[in-house]
Structure 1
Amino acid sequence: MELPPSSVSRYVSTLEKSLGQKLLYRHTRAVKLTEVGANYFEEIREALMAIDLATEHAKGTETAPHGTLKINAPVSFGNKHLSALINQFQQHYQQVNVELVLTDSYIDPVQEGADIVIRIGDFSDSSLNYRKISDEQFVTCASPSYLRESPKISSPDDLLKQNCLVYKGNLGKRTWHFRQSAAQPFESIEVAGNLYSNNADILVNAALLGQGIILFPKWLIAEHLATGELVPVLTEWQCAEKASPQTIYALYPANRLKSPKVSCFLEFMSDYFGSPTPYWGSA
């Protein structure tokens, strides 16, 4: 907020004095909320957002969005697909500033004060509204050089003899899943290889260098499939990272939709990505 620390300290001290409660623990290396401070913050957050929204409406900005739009998204998806989207959005709506935070951790938009949170996976939180972007589409693939030197791959079981480059995050090593049609359940395959990482881009780059086989969503590797740098295998099989359907979606608290900048971005995003098939789906 471009305020000197002394001014912030004075404002907080004045607020604490008026409430008769300590809101912050102050240490030499850190400052954090007390229990009272955390509860107070949660209770006033929605009130402050309601004031901001009322101010937008009072200024008659329904057709001219302005202010700061706070967006949270997964790291790889944000790097691949949000820069150009936000650039075009801001060219169209020049009074909107965007604050983009990329993280693979789950973010509650209400708790974190985000206007829109883009997430990938199962949608289960009924307390939030959401806009579907796309179903996840996965591809098992490798570089032409790797495939020329490896045994033929005609079924998922053949992957057990291959060098598979596997994502390994906080929940452990990813299991790969396959089925021949949507009428069948997915069956898991415990693949293995000489490289594991919690960073998808590292594994994709290794596959491009001919190190092994990867299974990733099409939005992550569409450009490499289009150029032929990566070649799909097991094309008669459906593959996935989980046995349940996965979706790319945008979460937002119900009251945010009343904000012109949020509603305009959601519509702009849907048009930009393409519905029901996003632009990366044609690769």
Structure 2
Amino acid sequence: MQLKALRYFAMVATTGSFSATAKHFQVPSSSVSRFISKLEQDIGQQLFYRNTRSVRLTEIGEKYYIQIKEVLDTLDFANEEATGKNSNVRGLVRINTAVALGRLHISRIVNQLHDIYPDLSVELILTDTFIDPVQEGADITIRIGSLQDSALIARKVCDQTYVLCASPEYLERYGTPETPQDIQKHQCLVYKGVSGSQRWYFRQNELDKPIEIEPQGPLKSNNAEVLVSAALEGRGIVLFPTWIFEEDYFKNKQLVKLLPKWLCTVEPYVVGIHLVSPENRIRSKKVRTVLDFILKEIGSPPYWDNILTF
């Protein structure tokens, strides 16, 4: 059994494509197919379901991938240690993050990453579904919310800062709320996820017991950008973290911040953003390099909090 066959297998399992794997390793697709077929013969099991549209792992293939990935990660780590700290950063790093955060921010950072490390490839998966990084093979997961006790290694990016806002047109028509209780009289644009509609919490100091509001209005959605667009069109008030908004919305007075003396959240406690990785992944030079790069690009405080200055 050849190591090359295992690397081809792991890449096909990740990309779901023989052609993408061939492109990554700069070999003909026929070579990848031949090595995979020989691997299946050697172990006496079918690893992939193949058709003209897709390639996906069989149940045996999924179990085999998890075991082989551990072996390849250990080997890559050993190679990195042997070649020294000054060797080029190369290989594949898998990043998982929320859809909106990935589209608005992480995708740009990944593009900058490739300019500096051309031998590094990134698989960026955007999903709002809570995943198990170990089972999904993610090297870095950007997690929003509370962290559960686990074997994952976490590095904090920031606490989320929220902004309550509406368009000038909406405020001219309906008036400006002066207290959290006034929100109940207004048209609100509410995020509704798998756990139901969000509630809004207000406090004047971090240690205060929050005032809980159940916002109501003409539109609910599981997509934050849909709700922000509705706010820009004057349909109601929104409450979202700073990273959801574009700086120009406030710079150009398209949106106006409300209740500036209040701390606003969608949880009764402070919610943070963390970069988490399985312990065996964080030992890899390429993963540590990407983690450090993401943290540096976001900054502390995060650059998206610049909207608070307008």
TM-score (norm 2): 0.81
Q: Distance in 1 between matches of 2:77 and 2:205?
A: 48
Q: Distance in 2 between matches of 1:282 and 1:210?
A: 23
Match for residue 163 of structure 2?
Answer: 139
Give CA-to-partner distance per residue, 1:172-231, whole Å, 9 cap, x none. 111111122111122321111111111110100110111110000011115123332111
Aligned residues: 280
Query: Cα 1:69–1:7, aligned 2, differ >3 Å: closer, same or farther?
Result: closer
Query: Cα 1:24–1:273, aligned 2, differ >3 Å: closer, same or farther?
Result: closer
Structure 2: gaps of 5 or more residues? 1-20, 23-27
* 2:291 pairs with one of 252, 260, 266: 266
* 2:213 pairs with one of 166, 170, 189: 189
Give CA-to-partner distance per residue, 1:58-87, whole Å, 9 cap, x none. 344644211222211111111111233223
Map of 1:248-267 to 2, 5 A cutoff? 248-267=273-292
* 1:152 pairs with one of 161, 171, 176: 176
Give CA-to-partner distance per residue, 1:132-153, whole Å, 9 cap, x none. 1110111110011111111331
TM-score (norm 1): 0.88
Q: Distance in 1 between matches of 2:96 and 2:66?
A: 19
* 1:206 pairs with one of 202, 209, 230: 230
Query: Cα 1:126–1:212, aligned 2, differ >3 Å: closer, same or farther?
Result: same
AA at the equivalent of 1:266: L
Q: What is the aligned-residue identity percentage?
A: 43
* The 10-residue stretch of structure 1 (135-144 or 76-85) with the greater mean CA deviation from structure 2: 76-85
The question of 1:279 aligning with 2:303 is answered yes
AA at the equivalent of 2:263: Q
**Aligned Cα root-mean-square deviation (Å):** 2.5
**8 Å Cα contact 1:56/1:62 also seen in 2:** no
Q: Distance in 2 between matches of 1:114 and 1:17?
A: 28
* Offset at residue 52 of structure 1 (A): 2.4
Where 1:123 maps in the other structure, the secondary structure is: coil
Q: Distance in 2 between matches of 1:280 and 1:38?
A: 39
Match for residue 240 of structure 1?
Answer: 265
* The 10-residue stretch of structure 1 (243-252 or 209-218) with the greater mean CA deviation from structure 2: 243-252
Map of 1:61-80 to 2, 5 A cutoff? 62-80=86-104
**8 Å Cα contact 2:179/2:259 also seen in 1:** yes
Q: Distance in 2 between matches of 1:66 and 1:20?
A: 32
Query: Cα 1:253–1:72, aligned 2, differ >3 Å: closer, same or farther?
Result: same
* The 10-residue stretch of structure 1 (204-213 or 221-230) with the greater mean CA deviation from structure 2: 221-230
